[in-house]
Amino acid sequence: MKNLVIVESPNKIKALEKYLGNNYIIKASVGHIVKLPSSGPHGFGVDLETWIPNYKIDPSKKKIIKEIKKELNEVNKVYIATDPDREGEAIGDNLVNFLDIKDKYYRIRFNEITKIAIENAIKNPQKLDLKLVNSQIARRILDRIIGYKLSKIMQTKIKNSPTYPSAGRVQSIALKLVFEREKLIKSFVSTKYKVISAKLENNLIAIFYLKNGKFKNNTWVDESQINEIKSKFSNELIIKNIEIKKKKEKKIIPFKQSTLYKKGNSSIGMSASVIQNTVQRLYEGYGEGGLISYPRTDSTRLSNTFVNHAKEYILNKYGKEYLSDKILGISGDQDAHEAIRPTSIKLTPKKAKIKFDLNDREYKLYKLIWENTMKSLMKVPIRENINYKLSELDLLYKLSYSKIIFDGYYKVVEMKEIDSKKEIKIPKFNIGDKFKVKKYNIEDKETQPPSRYNDGSLIKTLDDIKVGRPSTFASIIRILKKRFYVDMENKAMKITDFGNIVYKKLIEGFPKFMNEEYTAMLEKDLNEIAKGKKDYKEMLTIFWNSFEKQIEKQIEKTQVTIIPLEKSDKLCPKCNSNLVVRTNKRDGNKFLGCPKFPKCKHAEPKPGFEPKFIKKNFKKNNKK
Ligand SMILES: [Zn+2]
């Protein structure tokens, strides 16, 4: 008799068929097979006494379930091979319950889609981990309650909003961060300072510095000291001291999801959504097995097996002196996970590009992951910093040089990228050497306000303050953009007027819930549930008791905000009123409508407005 394997994504079917052979039938659930209906008390779809969700089969999954059921009679064992995280565990639990296969199922987990990982998983079948399932259920219910209640308040208390406003446990904290960054930028008072340099013969530039200045950076000079310093300017500077220091470059840590988002955003300019979709494809592979390990991870640990393979590769390619003796990395909350790494270190970016015909984005991201993994296993480069310290009277100057004396992990970067660091020729000077000063320069400088968040830095911050999970980061960013809470300016997020209105309503009404510490505490509770240290029902009861009290009070207190509509100079052909600019809440497109709506229903296109087809850009590209 054959066996059945159920995976989440249809993209994995081909590779699993190849690895497991004819005795296995592979089917995909395509994400969750159930939905949480909007029924029962408050429309939460949950029994508030037992905290059992009232899951219903998702109508769009009926065909898939029928197909799977057809196979059930023909097979011996059923392997639940959903993704190795809480979400995957919950999908598996629902499959077991709704397919009624408690007696014949096994849970298998693999971190990468390779022959060896899948064979190992089949050899070590397990049962579902109900602690993880409970944690997912608690998360789902929390998000339902907070999301439903707060979104409803936003929708009833804000009129003329350009989209349906929503609020949520994690998305509203993300909005808060963007709001507070903008506040910080607006209230920023810059510090003014001066930088003094001496232009010497042979185009050398010596920078003035202070021993005990007012600022942390010793080359920053306060306005008040300028006159005194100027009075001591001399025609000649003499080398009094030579300081040589060796400094190690930064140690590289293997990627977890949030650091990949940040790096992918800053170094190759990809948005969170693009990175999310691209790494998913790299993970699922191209029918040939996956190129990278499971990407929705909060772990930076590398498995021993992988480290051993990679060390051998580095040893053969670069030699022993390039092998790091200490590899950084920690396991995340979902222990079995690893960092995001290539499934085979031997598959260099160039080889991968040719073998799998990678597109530009796939190639760039794979290269980033491959190089970062290599670097994390290699010795750190060493830099030599040389400071020639010059002075005359009691003024101090320095001529600073720096060069790489051991290239370490720079070896993996293409030569042309590091040539600039290698080619520097440091002039040899001796103590007592004298230089004529051709000219002194005093430059006005000032400190800059903090920069706005981009996709990557916002995700990294959410992860750092322990709000949100790897599986939801990209969708949080998508929501901020889709709801028009933020505008993108030079790939950075600027809060919109609408975003401000929504945020202020939230923070005024629910300061306790719109709070990073509180959200992080809930996240911690969810981790404890996943470890079996906390009862999910107890946790939800405590939460609901405090949330319900506040929400009922606040619904009455919250005032209605009417967003003024922009008037046009066109008149309504039906009632002669001045038409106003309205926004289609579903797709974000603008049009002209009658201000007397719903009494008068006239609407017409807005002259000069090009439809943005936002819906298409925000099409559901992720199951979670
Ligand atoms: Zn009208």
DSSP 511-566: TTTS-HHHHHHHHHHHHHHHTTSS-HHHHHHHHHHHHHHHHHHHHHHPPPEEPPPP
**Parallel/antiparallel/unpaired status of strands 56-57 and 561-562:** unpaired
According to the model, what pLDDT value does residue 615 have?
Answer: 42
Q: Could you give the CA distance from residue 64 to residue 67 in angstroms, rounded to a whole number?
A: 5
User: 């320095």: which residue's tokens?
Assistant: 398
Q: Which of 80, 108, 128 is the last residue in one of the domains?
A: 128
Interval between CA 601 and ligand 1 midpoint (Å): 7
Q: Is the CB of residue 494 less than 8 Å from the CB of residue 481?
A: no
Closest CA to 98 of 147, 168, 29, 146: 29
According to the model, what pLDDT value does residue 335 have?
Answer: 57
Q: Work out the angle at residue 184's Cα, subtended by the Cα atoms of residues 181 and 188, and round it to the nearest 5 degrees.
A: 145
Indicate if 318 and 433 belong to the same structural domain: no
What global pTM score does this model have? 0.87
Q: How many helices (H) and strands (E) does the chain have?
A: 19, 20
Q: Could you give the CA distance from residue 202 to residue 438 in angstroms, rounded to a whole number?
A: 10
Closest CA to 265 of 80, 63, 493: 493
Domain of residue 166, CATH code: 1.10.460.10
The partner residues of 199 in beta bridges, in order of sequence, read: 205, 439
> At residue 580, what is the residue type?
V
Q: Do the domain assignments include residue 467?
A: yes
Distance set, CA 451 to CA 186, 317, 369, 494, 498 (Å):
11, 41, 26, 10, 21
Q: Do the domain assignments include residue 546?
A: yes
Show the tokens assigned to 14.
Answer: 């081909």
Q: Do the domain assignments include residue 622?
A: no
The residues near 394 (Cβ < 8 Å, ≥ 6 apart) are 232
Interval between CA 568 and ligand 1 midpoint (Å): 13
Interval between CA 608 and ligand 1 midpoint (Å): 21
User: 């001399």: which residue's tokens?
Assistant: 234
Indicate if 420 and 462 belong to the same structural domain: no
pLDDT, tens digit, for every residue of 18-34? Answer: 999 999 999 999 999 99
In the DSSP assignment, the letter for residue 250 is P
Rg (CA), the chain: 30
Interval between CA 604 and ligand 1 midpoint (Å): 11
Interval between CA 484 and ligand 1 midpoint (Å): 27
According to the model, what pLDDT value does residue 333 have?
Answer: 61
Q: List, by residue number, the catalytic residues.
A: 294
Q: Is 109 left (phi over 0), alpha (psi -120 to 50) or beta?
A: beta
Q: Which of 330, 349, 376 is the last residue in one of the domains?
A: 376
Q: Is 215 left (phi over 0), alpha (psi -120 to 50) or beta?
A: beta
Q: Could you give the CA distance from residue 197 to residue 179 in angstroms, rounded to a whole number?
A: 40
Overall number of domains in the chain: 5
Q: What is the DSSP string of 440-503?
A: EEEEEEE--PPPPP-HHHHHHHHHHTT-S-TTTHHHHHHHHHHTTSEEEETTEEEE-HHHHHHH
What does pLDDT average to in each consecutive run of 10 residues of the chain (624 residues)?
94 92 95 94 94 96 95 93 93 96 94 92 95 96 94 91 90 96 96 96 92 89 93 93 95 95 92 94 88 93 91 95 84 74 95 94 97 96 93 90 90 64 75 95 96 95 90 91 93 94 91 88 94 96 92 86 89 92 82 89 84 46 37
Interval between CA 592 and ligand 1 midpoint (Å): 11
User: 């969810």: which residue's tokens?
Assistant: 526
Q: Which of 448, 464, 495 is the last residue in one of the domains?
A: 448
Domain of residue 591, CATH code: 2.20.25
The residues near 373 (Cβ < 8 Å, ≥ 6 apart) are 254, 255, 302, 310, 339, 341, 342, 345
Interval between CA 582 and ligand 1 midpoint (Å): 13
User: What kind and span of H or E run contains 105?
Assistant: strand 105-107
> At residue 44, what is the residue type?
F
Interval between CA 596 and ligand 1 midpoint (Å): 6
Q: Work out the angle at residue 554's Cα, subtended by the Cα atoms of residues 551 and 555, and round it to the nearest 5 degrees.
A: 85
Indicate if 608 and 558 belong to the same structural domain: no
Indicate if 11 and 99 belong to the same structural domain: yes
Indicate if 539 and 441 belong to the same structural domain: no
Interval between CA 594 and ligand 1 midpoint (Å): 5
Residue 122 domain boundaries: 2-128
| Length reported for the chain | 624
Q: Do the domain assignments include residue 207?
A: no
Closest CA to 561 of 33, 165, 47: 165
> At residue 213, what is the residue type?
G
The residues near 586 (Cβ < 8 Å, ≥ 6 apart) are 615
Domain of residue 429, CATH code: 2.70.20.10
Q: Is the CB of residue 148 less than 8 Å from the CB of residue 44?
A: yes
Positive or negative torsion for Cα 523, 525, 529, 533: positive
Indicate if 416 and 469 belong to the same structural domain: no
Interval between CA 563 and ligand 1 midpoint (Å): 20
Closest CA to 128 of 80, 87, 83: 80
Q: Is the CB of residue 8 less than 8 Å from the CB of residue 31?
A: yes
According to the model, what pLDDT value does residue 415 have?
Answer: 53
pLDDT, tens digit, for every residue of 93-107? Answer: 999 999 999 999 999
Q: Could you give the CA distance from residue 269 to residue 286 in angstroms, rounded to a whole number?
A: 25
Q: Is the CB of residue 369 less than 8 Å from the CB of residue 112?
A: no
Indicate if 242 and 282 belong to the same structural domain: no
Interval between CA 303 and ligand 1 midpoint (Å): 68
pLDDT, tens digit, for every residue of 396-444? Answer: 999 999 888 899 999 998 655 554 455 567 889 999 999 999 999 999 9
Domain of residue 315, CATH code: 1.10.290.10
Other CB atoms within 10 A of residue 394 CB: 8
Helix (H, G, I), strand (E, B) or coil at 175: helix
Indicate if 459 and 555 belong to the same structural domain: yes
According to the model, what pLDDT value does residue 620 have?
Answer: 40
How far is CA 297 from its chain centroid? 11
Q: Do the domain assignments include residue 208?
A: no
Q: Is 10 exposed, middle or buried (0-12, 13-18, 19+ CB in 10 A)?
A: middle
Indicate if 466 and 537 belong to the same structural domain: yes
Indicate if 527 and 586 belong to the same structural domain: no
Indicate if 439 and 291 belong to the same structural domain: no
Interval between CA 567 and ligand 1 midpoint (Å): 13
User: 59: cis peptide before it, omega within 30°?
Assistant: no
Q: Do the domain assignments include residue 218?
A: no
Indicate if 547 and 458 belong to the same structural domain: yes
Q: Could you give the CA distance from residue 588 to residue 317 in angstroms, rounded to a whole number?
A: 54
Interval between CA 155 and ligand 1 midpoint (Å): 25
Interval between CA 318 and ligand 1 midpoint (Å): 76
Q: Do the domain assignments include residue 89?
A: yes
Q: Do the domain assignments include residue 224?
A: no
Protein residues placing their CB within 5 Å of the ion ligand 1: 572, 574-575, 594, 600, 602
